[in-house]
Amino acid sequence: MAASLFSVISRFLEEYTNTTPNKLKLVDAYLLYILLTGAFQFLYCLLVGTFPFNSFLSGFISCVGSFILAVCLRIQINPHNKGDFLTVSPERAFADFLFANTVLHLVVVNFIG
């Protein structure tokens, strides 16, 4: 069981490094970064306590929101999905990503206290 799991994972990683274009890998790296940041914040909250609860929430929501927006960007610039996004060019997707992030971070900074 473990062996098959290990083989699945290694195969997946191999496929990933080989087939995904560089652009997407960049975005994936960004996604990993956001994920880790969010995870560490949550860990702090679990261990030390929720004292400035609003700060924790804004930080965590910022990570979650950024992650979601980055995922959207990734979906939209993936050449495989070009058929689904005929009206949206990669530049347009990137511009939307930037705009949405601005709004998100405006709210986050408001709430951070």
Q: How far is CA 69 from the centre of its chain?
A: 7
* Residue (7 or 50) nearer to another protein, CB: 50
Six token digits for residue 83: 């058929």
Neighbours of 76 (CB within 10 A): 19
Q: Is 95 in the site for another protein (CB under 8 A)?
A: yes
Q: Which of 10, 14, 49, 84 binds another protein (CB under 8 A)?
A: 49
Quickly tell me which residue has 């996604």 as its tokens.
31
Site residues (vs another protein, CB under 8 A): 22, 25-26, 29-30, 32-34, 36-37, 40-41, 43-44, 48-49, 51, 89-92, 94-95, 98-99, 102, 105-106, 109-110, 112
